[in-house]
Structure 1
Amino acid sequence: MNMKGLNTWGFKAYPTENKNIIEYVGIDAPKNRMKSYLILPGIYVMFITLGQKYVAHDSDYNGRFGYRIAYCYEGNYYTHINDTKVLITREIFVGKSIPKSLESYSTNDRTTAFNIVIAPKELDKTLDYYKIIDKFIKISRSIKDIGIILNNKELLFVANQLIDNLKKEDLFLITLKTLELIYIITKENINEIRKKYYQENNTEDMIEIERFISNNLDLDINLDLICKKFKISKSYLNNNFMRKFQYTPIKYLNNIRMIKAENYLINTNMEITDIAEKIGFKNPSNFSRSFKKFTGISPSKYRKNNKD
């Protein structure tokens, strides 16, 4: 039997006493929960808490088109925006919101995240908040499927505050922190960031480079090695790789290594030093620092949290 609507995302909706708040429970994975808040006309905040690995294919729900601000406090997940695969992690993702996806999946059993969806057709232009949202829409209007990544400390601090208030279910502070986050994004130099992402280019060689990186996590890969192997310049490599895969090659390599480390920590009893070596870190201390920056906690605490 073919599933339709919200079921294609793997969730069932449960209305609450407050008509602006809806809870969602995983159909096949009841530990997977979401809670949606309509905080203002046209602005929705979805709090995502996945307790089991999540995967959905060919999702298509008659939802809202517009813009998305996404952030993972714990864990990571991939999703598709049209034909483009994007990674949501501990950085702020700003991109399109579309109610369908070729595939979405988390990289481990525990994920805590939020999605802010701004639906332009539902906004109330007479309210004071509209000035902030209108500016956000204007700078985001030409955004492409790959979106953009923002990671300044102020943004991340407010994103973590928003997560805290979502956990406490404090609707007033959820609203306040969501608007503050959007306001800070409008202060970013989005046009300069877009220039790095959006110039047209031939990406066939970037696909080959991505394959080389993904298949050789244990090697001491650096820009010089990649440029020499593929006979290209560093500026060409960085700029074109980012336009295809969201991140520079070295940042992409580190993300893939950290996701691999998460899986080793959860699914094996390997020593942390052995995991570090297996994914290309000669120095376990460097691995621990990178892992904590990526996940927010140390490898040992991550293992403990995911095996409790």
Structure 2
Amino acid sequence: MNMTEIPIAREHQLFNGHNFHVFIFTKTESVSGLHQHDYYEFTIVLTGRYYQEIDGQRVLLERGDFVFIPVGSQHQSFYTAGATRILNVGISKRFFEKHFQSLFPCEFTAAQAYAIDTHFLAHIESVITSHHFRENEFDEFIEVVCFYITNRLRHYRDEPIRDTVPLWLRNTVEAMHDKLKFGDAALENMVQLSGKSQEYLTRATQRFYSKTPMQIINNIRINFAKKQLEITNASVTDIAYESGYSSPSLFIKTFKKFTSFTPNNYRNKINSCNEE
């Protein structure tokens, strides 16, 4: 192979005659490097955050984001923010073009993060953490997710164009992922980082993210807590305080509100899923 040749992942080597090739796992590094496929693929972030470089452009993906990789797009991933749990679905070229091609938008940008509705993301998590996920109606569930993803892409340009997030706000939210910032006095830290008044910050986060500052902070905290539950044996109490909550009970209540699971239930389901 010469230096400019890009490796190609082949459908016939991975799919074994099936319509889909599905992985659900926690990754800390890329093992494939820059490559392309002769099939379609999308990746949904369930926990954590990472970068995808697609056709030379780098895209940040966080919980609830996905990218769709068409046939031939060159891409690689970077896990500079640590462990990231993903749902990765490869779709047979034949199956996609037969069932989904007609829904696919004429104009499409691969190097872009798209967001999944919070309720649908909760549904995905609920299904894939069930004990019998791979035994009951697996293909049907994946088909539903594929339809949602394709439909999301189709309607993306029909949505009102949102204002570009100003650099000061984007940097503020980025800095809040530091554990020292989303812990004690998180709201005060966010206000200080922004350099704005709390009222101005609140108006900005609601305008550009459709969330209050505390909703953004809780998203960051719960995302962090999920990673700890997935990759460590730390107690729920320790994780509660480490995630910035003043008490385990408040943490459990907030965690269940965001995920529909208690922390222990979530950990047990993730562990049982990983053991299958």
Q: What's the TM-score once normalised by structure 1's chain length?
A: 0.58
**Aligned with residue 235 of structure 1, among 203, 222, 225:** 203
Equivalent pair of 2:6/2:35 in contact (CA under 8 Å): yes
Secondary structure, in 3 states, of the residue corresponding to 2:33?
strand
Equivalent pair of 2:11/2:38 in contact (CA under 8 Å): no
- 2:184 maps to which residue? 219
* 1:256 alignment partner AA: I
CA distance in 1 between partners of 2:232 and 2:125 (Å): 32
- 1:61 maps to which residue? 35
Task: Spell out, residue by residue over 1:144-175, the C-alpha distance to the aligned partner (whole angstroms, 9 max, x if none).
Answer: 74423222536754775588797138575256
- 2:134 maps to which residue? 167
- List aligned pairs for 1:71-86, cutoff 5 A: 72=46, 75-76=47-48, 78-81=50-53, 82-86=57-61
Give the Å deviation of 1:86: 0.6
Give the Å deviation of 1:59: 2.0
CA distance in 2 between partners of 1:266 and 1:152 (Å): 20
Secondary structure, in 3 states, of the residue corresponding to 2:52?
strand
- 1:181 maps to which residue? 148
- List aligned pairs for 1:109-188, cutoff 5 A: 111=85, 113-115=87-89, 124=97, 127=98, 129-130=99-100, 133-138=101-106, 141=107, 145-151=111-117, 153=119, 156-157=122-123, 167-168=134-135, 173=140, 176-178=143-145, 180-182=147-149, 185=152
Task: Spell out, residue by residue over 1:167-225, the C-alpha distance to the aligned partner (whole angstroms, 9 max, x if none).
Answer: 13857525643455357647967633x623xx345415531452155231212434996
Number of residues of Structure 1 aligned to a counterpart in Structure 2: 258
Instruction: Name the one with the larger strand percent.
Output: 1
Between the aligned residues of both structures, percent identity stands at 14
Equivalent pair of 1:76/1:107 in contact (CA under 8 Å): yes
Secondary structure, in 3 states, of the residue corresponding to 2:24?
strand
Task: Spell out, residue by residue over 1:245-270, the C-alpha distance to the aligned partner (whole angstroms, 9 max, x if none).
Answer: x9875454333322432454466665
Give the Å deviation of 1:54: 3.5
CA distance in 2 between partners of 1:175 and 1:274 (Å): 36
Secondary structure, in 3 states, of the residue corresponding to 2:246?
coil
- List aligned pairs for 1:1-308, cutoff 5 A: 5=7, 15=13, 19-21=16-18, 39=19, 45-50=20-25, 53-56=27-30, 59-63=33-37, 68=42, 70=44, 72=46, 75-76=47-48, 78-81=50-53, 82-87=57-62, 89=63, 91=64, 93-97=65-69, 98-104=73-79, 108=83, 111=85, 113-115=87-89, 124=97, 127=98, 129-130=99-100, 133-138=101-106, 141=107, 145-151=111-117, 153=119, 156-157=122-123, 167-168=134-135, 173=140, 176-178=143-145, 180-182=147-149, 185=152, 191-192=158-159, 195-196=161-162, 199-200=163-164, 202-204=166-168, 206-212=170-176, 214=178, 215-222=180-187, 226=191, 230-231=195-196, 233=200, 234-240=202-208, 242=209, 250-265=214-229, 270-294=234-258, 297-304=261-268, 306=271
Q: What are structure 2's unaligned runs of at least 5 residues?
A: none
CA distance in 1 between partners of 2:122 and 2:50 (Å): 20
Q: What are structure 1's unaligned runs of at least 5 residues?
A: 22-38, 40-44
